[in-house]
Amino acid sequence: MSTDRKVVITGIGVVTPIGKDLASFWDSLKNGRSGIDRICSFDTTDYDCKIAGEVKEFNPVPFFKNPKDARRTDRFTQFAMAAAKMAMADSGVDLDKVDRTRFGTIIGSGIGGLRTLCEQHTILMNKGPNRISPFMIPMMISNMASGLVSMEFGLCGPNFSTTSACATACHAVGEAWRMVQHGEADIFLCGGAEATVVPIGVAGFSAMKALSTRNDEPQRASRPFDKDRDGFVMGEGSGVLVIEELEHAKRRGARIYCELSGYGLSADAYHMTSPLPEGEGAARCMKMALEKSGIAPEDVDYVNAHGTSTGLGDICETKAIKAVFGDHAKNGLVVSSTKSMTGHLLGAAGSVEMAACILALREGIIPPTINLDEPDPECDLDYVPKVARERKVRVAVNNSFGFGGHNATLVAKAFEG
């Protein structure tokens, strides 16, 4: 099968701590608005970390055909359904005029239904096994967001879930891109969803000493590349994209945001949680994505960095960017981390950050890295500190790197024609 089919992005849906739709999300990014606050969904008195990027006042019911269905799903699936509905509406696709057997769904989650597991375990301990919900397993398993979204729209093409920690959503979009390019489908809903701001989730990441404990300054806590960073801040939400083969999009008169032109993936094969010290795995991943895209490193305008605000991670990614882009890394390339505003959405990060790249391409505005008061000496690139920057963006790169040594990079470029 030919692999020269062009793939374009025609729809975007997001649910994030800085906006529950695309317009509010972009407005927050442009204005450097943080979504980090004290956790309000449970009592954090005994927790080292008391802050997160929560999606506040989220009502899932309007996104389901039946209110009962909303109650029978975990929060991560609710986020995915909302983002998928918004992406479909944004794309303008008429399901009666497309071949649903060639319409796929890949929506991943790094952790899945952690809230359901937490709640049902409490019931098991307090009331016994006979009181466990019959919906526990289908609510908890990570593939259920993808499954239920496909059922909601009657999409009978390829359907599965990716799970690769914080690289999950980038892998979901990349694998959808690959299948469209190879002719195995014409159109996909793809992305990631996560909802781990629950007691066991916060306690678990805290036990690893991975989280920021800047509890008295929540909005200043996520500070990628800053010398005073002390860990990442958990976030929750979902990002879902509609991607499709170019001629398929043209035939239905779709509005095209940009071309999704490259995808790279690699493994560090090094450590459970730490990246390779020189960022070799991340560099290989970026190089592969650019090669697949047919784009020279010096033609890239913007990198949306993984940039989690961890000590090792930010330095290693900086080294990887220098290795890939050479002199261009310090002479023209612009890098920023939108996690400074959203927090780290874990398995949903890649698709939400892909939305940021798409809008940067369309609007000619690069979101800032807020809270970058004094860069780490080893983080010496142009990270767009504090304030968004107007600049024409022709090519954008999106990085996601996950625990387990999973690396994924996507490349988007302005659509011509």
Q: What range does the domain containing 339 cover?
A: 263-413
One digit per residue, the tens of pLDDT, for the chain of length 417 reads: 456 799 999 999 999 999 999 999 999 999 999 999 999 999 999 999 999 999 999 999 999 998 999 999 999 999 999 999 999 999 999 999 999 999 999 999 999 999 999 999 999 999 999 999 999 999 999 999 999 999 999 999 999 999 999 999 999 999 999 999 999 999 999 999 999 999 999 999 999 999 999 999 999 999 999 999 999 999 999 999 999 999 999 999 999 999 999 999 999 999 999 999 999 999 999 999 999 999 999 999 999 999 999 999 999 999 999 999 999 999 999 999 999 999 999 999 999 999 999 999 999 999 999 999 999 999 999 999 999 999 999 999 999 999 999 999 999 999 987
Shared-domain flag, residues 103 and 240: yes
Domain boundary among 251, 279, 310: 251
Using alpha carbons only, what angle is made at residue 103 by residues 240 and 9, rounded to the nearest 5 degrees? Answer: 45
Q: Do 369 and 314 share a structural domain?
A: yes
Residues 243 and 270 reside in one and the same domain: no
The DSSP annotation for 387-415 comes to S-EE---SEEEEEEEETTTEEEEEEEE--
- The answer to whether residue 3 is domain-embedded is no
Question: Is there a single domain that holds both residue 236 and residue 274?
Answer: no
pLDDT score recorded for residue 4: 79
Looking at the domain assignment, is residue 303 inside a domain? yes
Q: Are 268 and 276 in contact (CB under 8 A)?
A: yes
Give the chain's length: 417
69 and 43, same structural domain? yes
Supply the pTM of this predicted model: 0.97
Residue 46 CB coordination number (10 Å):
8
Residues 203 and 273 in one domain: no
- Residue 301 resides in a domain: yes
**Could you say which of 218, 251, 284 is where a domain stops?**
251
Between CA 107 and CA 99 the distance in angstroms is 20
In this predicted structure, what is the pLDDT of residue 1?
Answer: 45
Residue-by-residue DSSP string for 19-53: BSSHHHHHHHHHTT----EE--SS--TT-S--EEB
Whether residues 346 and 386 fall in one domain: yes
Number of domains in the chain: 2
Instruction: Give the span between the Cα atoms of 242 and 174, in whole angstroms.
Output: 12
Structure tokens at 90: 């944004």
Tell me, yes or no, whether 45 lies in a domain.
yes
The residue ranges of DSSP E strands in 183-307, in sequence order, are: 187-194, 237-245, 258-267, 302-304
Same domain, 238 and 173: yes
Q: Are residues 284 and 231 in the same domain?
A: no
Same structural domain for residues 133 and 272?
A: no
- Cα dihedral across residues 363, 178, 266, 189: positive or negative: positive
Average pLDDT of every residue of the chain: 97
Residues 233 and 295 occupy one common structural domain: no
In a domain, 223, yes or no: yes
CATH classification of the domain holding 56? 3.40.47.10
Give me 29's structure tokens. 């990014």
Q: Give residue 409's region: left, alpha or beta (phi > 0; psi -120 to 50).
A: beta
Q: Is residue 395 a part of any domain in this protein?
A: yes
Domain finish residue from 185, 218, 251: 251
> Which residues lie closer than 8 Å to 348 by C-beta, 6 or more apart?
79, 109, 168, 169, 191, 192, 193, 194, 236, 237, 238, 239
- Is 2 domain-assigned? no
Contact 364, 333 (CB under 8 A): no
Q: Which residues are catalytic, by number?
A: 166, 306, 344
pLDDT digits (tens, 9 = 90+) for 299-355: 999 999 999 999 999 999 999 999 999 999 999 999 999 999 999 999 999 999 999
Decide if 1 is inside a domain.
Answer: no
Same domain, 81 and 216: yes
DSSP states of 273-298 as a string?
Answer: SPPPTT-HHHHHHHHHHHHHHT--GG
User: What element of type H or E holds 90?
Assistant: helix 75-91
Q: Are 28 and 341 in contact (CB under 8 A)?
A: yes
